[in-house]
């Protein structure tokens, strides 16, 4: 396929890179051997060296094999907050030759139950604050082994103030059917030699389930490492970098852009379990963070701090991420403060992070960048799969080495999601976008999110980006509301800045000066916070379903 984006390719980078010939296990243990005393992880000031992390991963692998009966290819779950234990569990599972399945630690029992049963998980790593939610799974013999971590075991002697209660909690007494993390490490079990290949299954994250039940995305060492290389090589990341790992590790941004990129580069990861803008500012300054992969909602919140200082982000040299488009007004404030451009990218769980990224020397705002190494993107009519002319909107199709092998045990989804064009295998993203004359990708919206107002197509993401310029609005989400005349009308759900006020009429008057009339929000709902996923994405579907329920009630 024609690669228009080669005209704006990152300076000094090859267009394609070789297929990875090593594994995720090699990424850790080569640094444990070469730089054993270097800080791999920092948790509220406590350091774990590469040698210590490698030792823990080895002991965990031995326990999984010898005490839990884990065999190569078996799926093992991790349901923890960001922590040194999360990292050690992940690399311990990899060292055991098993497949790591990250699970959102905020899931309720039935949500965890679904993933555990669907993936065939028999062994799970969790934390002591989650043990009660797992009791039903143990009682039903769905799980055989649960290893329970205590986060405070990894804190320094003089920990940071205002820690989340579950992080600061001392070690608790566990029921007999659970194994304490400390017991597992103390057992010092020896694993069998590592025999997995780059082509073997390594990690299986689940989609968020925004279109139904989540699906397991099967990724090999090779697909995962190509995605990692597509960030490490693209942004020039190296062993001297200090990564800020606050994006949740159960999500591919935190797992790949944060944790695994840092390990591959031989850098240091400063870990924060959950987003806290004041603690984030303290850690960035104290440890000289240079690389921060995140979602725009974190930057929005960070820059809205009343205590914001000019030097809060002085050590940063690269800031990148995705999930949602970075509002232009926020990006401009970031540039004024730091001189940095937030380098937007685009990816999916199915591509275990990047499909595209902005070239550092030629970034474009409100843009997903250009396809990364070895990657092709096609824009097609979603009904006929006919290629769309350059500049016209269609469904985004993705072909590249980072695309998953398949959905786990889901032949129907695989048949629907993969197509062949010009003898290339492409993944249907379900996202709408277009390419400009230089191959930059502009995301319009989710295929199923379009609002039809009197026959006019309204893309919520576009309207949201405009609303961030309103002086009273801190965050906004656009949804559809039923309208007896227009069919659907545009509704804004907004969080206001402290002390600000806004009415629907005032918003509509302002919006008429900034967008086409059919896109103007005619309805406004003020809320204290927008619902968000664990990865920081606004849960627009939840707001839409709530609005649909209201409309249904009024028509009955």
pLDDT digits (tens, 9 = 90+) for 301-328: 899 999 999 889 999 999 999 877 788 8
Determine the pLDDT at residue 4. Answer: 87
Q: Bridge partners of 513?
A: none
Separation between Cα atoms, residue 555 and residue 101, nearest integer Å: 44
pLDDT tens digit sequence for 490-502: 999 999 999 999 9
Q: Answer whether residue 485 shows pLDDT above 50.
A: yes
pLDDT tens digit sequence for 382-406: 889 999 999 999 999 999 999 999 9
pTM of the model: 0.84
Q: Bridge partners of 407?
A: 217
Separation between Cα atoms, residue 130 and residue 534, nearest integer Å: 16
Determine the pLDDT at residue 454. Answer: 64
Determine the pLDDT at residue 532. Answer: 86
Determine the pLDDT at residue 135. Answer: 78
Q: Answer whether residue 211 shows pLDDT above 50.
A: no
Determine the pLDDT at residue 455. Answer: 64
Determine the pLDDT at residue 240. Answer: 98
Give DSSP secondary structure letters for 502-519: --HHHHHHHHTTTS-GGG
403 compared with 130, residue with greater pLDDT:
403
Instruction: Provide mean pLDDT across the span 56-80.
Output: 98
Q: Answer whether residue 413 shows pLDDT above 60.
A: yes
Instruction: Provide mean pLDDT across the span 511-531.
Output: 91
| Residue whose tokens read 């290629």 | 387
Q: Answer whether residue 554 shows pLDDT above 70.
A: no
Q: Answer whether residue 263 shows pLDDT above 80.
A: yes
Q: Classify each residue of 351-381 as buried b or exposed e, where b means 16 or more C-beta atoms within 10 Å of its C-beta.
A: bbbbbbbbbbeebbbebbbbbbbbbbbbbbe
pLDDT tens digit sequence for 26-36: 999 999 999 99
Note whether 478 and 463 are within 8 A (CB): yes
Instruction: Provide mean pLDDT across the span 364-379.
Output: 95
Lowest mean pLDDT among 60-74, 167-181, 221-235, 533-547: 533-547
The structural domains of the chain, ordered by start, are: 22-357 (3.40.50.12780), 374-445 (2.30.38.10), 449-555 (3.30.300.30)
Determine the pLDDT at residue 210. Answer: 45
Determine the pLDDT at residue 295. Answer: 85
Query: What SS3 state is found at 268?
Result: strand
Q: What is the mean pLDDT of the chain?
A: 92
In which band, very low, low, confident or very high, does the pLDDT at 537 lie, cut at 50, 70 and 90?
confident
Determine the pLDDT at residue 141. Answer: 82
Query: How far lies 461's CA from each of 445, 477, 533, 546, in Å?
Result: 6, 8, 17, 19
In which band, very low, low, confident or very high, does the pLDDT at 555 lie, cut at 50, 70 and 90?
low
Please give the structure tokens belonging to residue 499. Answer: 């002390």
Q: Answer whether residue 448 shows pLDDT above 80.
A: no
Separation between Cα atoms, residue 366 and residue 514, nearest integer Å: 16
Q: Answer whether residue 2 shows pLDDT above 90.
A: no
């Amino acid at each position: 396929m024609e690669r228009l984006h080669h005209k704006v390719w990152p300076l000094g980078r090859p267009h394609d890179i070789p297929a990875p010939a090593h594994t995720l296990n090699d990424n850790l243990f080569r640094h444990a051997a070469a730089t054993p005393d270097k800080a791999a992880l920092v948790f509220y000031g406590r350091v774990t060296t590469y040698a210590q992390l490698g030792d823990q991963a080895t002991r965990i692998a031995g326990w999984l094999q010898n005490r839990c009966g884990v065999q190569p290819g078996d799926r093992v779950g991790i349901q923890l907050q960001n922590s040194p234990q999360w990292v050690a569990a992940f690399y311990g599972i990899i060292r055991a030759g098993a497949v790591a399945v990250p699970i959102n630690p905020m899931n309720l029992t039935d949500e965890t139950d679904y993933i555990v049963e669907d993936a065939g998980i028999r062994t799970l790593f969790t934390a002591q604050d989650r043990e009660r939610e797992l009791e039903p799974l143990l009682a039903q013999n769905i799980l055989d082994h649960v290893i329970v971590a205590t986060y405070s075991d990894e804190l320094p002697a003089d920990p940071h103030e205002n820690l989340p209660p579950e992080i600061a909690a001392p070690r608790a007494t566990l029921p007999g059917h659970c194994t304490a993390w400390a017991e597992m490490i103390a057992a010092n079990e020896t694993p069998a030699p590592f025999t997995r290949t780059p082509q073997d299954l390594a990690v299986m994250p689940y989609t968020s389930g925004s279109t139904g039940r989540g699906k397991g995305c099967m990724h090999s060492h090779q697909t995962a490492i190509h995605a990692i290389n597509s960030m490490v090589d693209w942004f020039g990341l190296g062993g001297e970098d200090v990564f800020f790992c606050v994006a949740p590790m159960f999500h591919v941004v935190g797992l790949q852009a944060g944790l695994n990129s840092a390990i591959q580069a031989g850098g240091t990861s400063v870990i924060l379990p959950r987003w806290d803008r004041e603690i984030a500012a303290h850690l960035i300054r104290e440890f000289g963070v240079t690389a921060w992969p995140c979602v725009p909602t974190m930057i929005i919140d960070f820059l809205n701090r009343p205590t914001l200082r000019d030097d809060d982000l002085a050590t940063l040299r690269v800031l990148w991420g995705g999930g949602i488009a970075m509002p232009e007004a926020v990006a401009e404030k970031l540039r004024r403060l730091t001189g940095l451009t937030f380098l937007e990218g685009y990816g999916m769980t199915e591509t275990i992070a990047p499909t595209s990224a902005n070239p550092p020397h030629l970034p474009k705002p409100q843009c997903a960048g250009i396809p990364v190494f070895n990657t092709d993107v096609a824009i097609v009519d979603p009904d006929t799969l006919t290629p769309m002319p350059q500049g016209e909107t269609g469904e985004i199709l993705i072909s590249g080495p980072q695309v998953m092998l398949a959905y786990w045990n889901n032949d129907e989804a695989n048949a629907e999601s993969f197509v062949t064009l010009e003898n290339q295998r492409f993944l249907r993203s379900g996202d709408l976008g277009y390419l400009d004359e230089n191959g930059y990708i502009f995301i319009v919206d989710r295929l199923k999110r379009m609002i039809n107002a009197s026959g006019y197509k309204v893309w919520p993401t576009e309207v949201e980006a405009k609303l961030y310029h309103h002086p009273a609005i801190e965050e906004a989400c656009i949804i559809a509301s039923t309208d007896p005349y227009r069919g659907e009308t545009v509704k804004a759900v907004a969080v206001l800045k402290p002390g600000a006020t806004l009415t629907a009429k005032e918003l509509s008057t302002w919006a008429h000066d900034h967008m086409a009339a059919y896109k103007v929000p005619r309805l406004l709902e003020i809320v204290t916070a927008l619902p968000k996923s664990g990865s920081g994405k606004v849960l627009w579907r939840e707001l839409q379903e709530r609005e649909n329920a209201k409309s249904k009630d009024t028509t009955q």
